[in-house]
Chains A and B, each alone.
Chain A
Amino acid sequence: MAALLTKEKETTLYLGPQHPGITGNMMVELKLTGDTIQRAKTHVGYLHRAFEKLMEERLWMQCFPIVCRICVPEPDPNEENLARAIEEIEGREVPERAQYIRVLMLELARITAYLMWMGGQSGSMGLYTMPQWSIGDRDYILDLFEELTGGRVYHMYIWAGGVRRDLPVGFKDRVRKVMDYIESRLVDYDRLLFENAIFLKRAQGIGIIDKEKALEWGVVGPPLRGCGIAHDVRKDEPYEVYDQLDFELITHEGNDVYSRAMVRRKEIEQSIHIIRQVLDKMPSGPIHNPGPNPLKWKVPAGDAYVRTESARGEFGYYVVSDGSLKPRRVHVRGPAYVHGIALLEHLLQGANVADVSFIMNSLGTCPPEIER
């Protein structure tokens, strides 16, 4: 019998690029025997737009509309990164109010990304009520973005030296209202998804990351904190005003899909807590420290690496300037670059074919930031 089983024919299953379970546009090539995956190989590059090349052809100011398109569900960390990298090379100061507004934007974006992830994670196991709720609720935050920046998805709001617009009248109250609403909805989300018996059954013990290896594998963000390792860029290397805000670092033991889910679930609460503090503490003052005319704007020669904690983990930009009107090189490090290729291939070995999309979603694989 054992001999028969090992002789079982190996089939190849191409999951994607057109496949409803794949997050975005990528392909996972699976070698299966029966329902078990023997080997997995990811194929990326379906979304390559050559952003890094395009930025070498653009003025510094023209780079801001480009970078936000690198990560679609959560564009703000990109703008934040580019702005901070330029500020670091130039040595430009950012007014305190602008820093608070940036934190507000980043945390709102984090909540939208987590709500989107909830939809994806539960959609991957067929719980279609959850995406309908969470993506519908996400729209309330998108409305806030639209009021503040003019764009629902792409904001182009954070730029070098500060932010583009001040908060409209009554905006803080509307943010508070939306936060109250989302906090009240968390109870429903818990009942529907996080405490659902079938979700627990499916998520526990699936997609286990080796805890000892997690740091070496380059795991960041919620998957790392889901291994019980407390690292977060907001605490390790505080940027903007995160060191003046009080929030907790969420970790969860278990190393599996469920612990990653719980980390994200609890971080929504922390984000709401941060946003409330930001709204209370926000000082008045200027919002922008203007630079030279954008058409003649030369950034002095130098390089800088900056990082931001996005909803999927550490988002880093390496910006090199040669003192000219255009960047020499902007290199983007998306968390999904490691999670979506090396780690995913590793985790899929020996998994069930039913869990591919499940594991992918729990790692927050986002193809546009892999290939840029």
Chain B
Amino acid sequence: MSPMNIIWMIAMPFIGAAIGLLYIGISRNITARVQNRFGPPPYQNIIDIIKLYSKKTAITHGVMFHLGPVLAITGTISTLMFVPILTGNYPIYLFSFQGDLILLMYIMVFGCLAMALGAGQSGNPNSAIGVSRGLTQMFGYEVPFVIALIILMVRFDTSSVLDIIKAQDTVAHWNIFRSPFSFIAAIAAFLGMMGNKPFDIVFAPAEISSGPPSEYGGKYLALMQTNRGLFAFVKLVLYTDLFLGGAGDFITLILKTFALFLIPLFIGIVNPRFRTEQAMTFFWKWPTAIGVVGLVLVLL
């Protein structure tokens, strides 16, 4: 491992979190413009996190409650380590290996499970309901997501993200055009993963306060918000790698990830949220069906 890689390993979580939080800040601004107002400055989320770190935190609900946010961010950082971020002249891929796509499928769930364990111990019924909703929803979107990944794996006969990126050498070869079925299934799963409007049943403020984090405050919440920014970044980079041919430099990366980020944002602004069972029906109906069609086509 080269020293450059070690530096990137340390720096990447911070850069990723900053980019993710900025995206969320910009999304607040875009939402505000749709809603006829100005909205906060784009760096508002970073201010919020500094404030949360500066708050006293005097809540205790047992060991898992403390460990939950820590494990969640650990899971996210380790996911980041396995996602190739840049390919090109100055590549950043830290621990990529043959078969990392299968590992990613599992390790992405790790953070959510850690959160569920932590929130579950808080004893707040809102958290408990939120956790059960979150796990249910995960079952929902994992199905089209896994199908989409299997389509890619079968098609390129590999389970390495780097190989998939290499296969998409020109714009016409991007997977968004070459295997649209896989893309549609994956983007539907993406909506669920990002937790934007139709699928924010986990955090639904008007229904269950704010769901799993309702007992978390101060520094715990700061960790969770950081995790949220970082996880958004990780997911965006992974989707860019899989469907938009990866990125050669940071500017391309930011353009591509931001374009992807806008999809759930614009859907979220104008739609209310589903009930849990409606969200499940949605995931298991169209995206899964389209994914299965794609899979059949690829296998043929």
Contacts and interface: CB of A to CB of B under 8 A. Distances in A.
A20 B35 contact: no
Interface string A171-212: 000000000000000000000100010110110000000000
A354 B125 contact: no
B206 A13 contact: no
A192 B276 contact: no
A125 B35 contact: no
Q: With a 10 A CB-CB cut-off, give which of A21, A126, A196, A202 has the most chain B CB atoms.
A: A126
Given A19-B209, A129-B269, A198 B35 contact: no
A20 B206 contact: yes
Contact of B207 (A122, A133, A201, A354): A354
B34 interface: yes
Interface string A1-19: 0000000000111000001
Interface of A: 11-13, 19-21, 32, 35, 122-129, 132-133, 136, 192, 196, 198-199, 201-202, 352-357
A127 B272 contact: yes
A199 B35 contact: no
Size bin of chain B's contact surface: 20 to 34
Given A126-B273, A198-B272, A354-B275, A20 B129 contact: no
Given A21-B206, A129-B34, A354-B201, 12 more contacts: A13-B129, A21-B207, A32-B125, A124-B206, A125-B272, A126-B197, A126-B200, A126-B205, A126-B272, A127-B271, A201-B274, A353-B208
A355 B272 CA distance: 13
Contacts of B208: 353
B204 interface: yes
Q: With a 10 A CB-CB cut-off, give which of B31, B208, B270, B272 has the most chain A CB atoms.
A: B272
Given A35-B129, A202-B278, A133 B200 contact: no
A123 B273 CA distance: 10
A202 B36 contact: no
B56 interface: no
A127 B268 CA distance: 8
Q: Which 6 A-B pairs have the closest CB atoms?
A: A21-B206, A132-B35, A127-B272, A126-B273, A125-B272, A124-B206
Interface of B: 31, 34-37, 125-126, 128-129, 197-198, 200-201, 204-209, 269-276, 278
A115 to B, nearest CB: 14
Contacts of B206: 20-21, 123-126, 357
A123 B35 CA distance: 13
B35 A356 contact: no
B204 to A, nearest CB: 6
A129 B272 CA distance: 9
Given A35-B129, A354-B204, A199 B209 contact: no
A202 B275 contact: yes
A19 B207 CA distance: 9
A198 B198 contact: yes
30 contacts: A19-B209, A20-B205, A20-B209, A21-B207, A32-B125, A35-B129, A35-B276, A123-B206, A124-B207, A125-B206, A126-B200, A126-B204, A126-B205, A126-B206, A127-B271, A128-B31, A129-B35, A132-B36, A133-B35, A133-B36, A196-B270, A196-B272, A198-B198, A198-B274, A199-B272, A202-B272, A353-B129, A354-B204, A354-B276, A355-B275
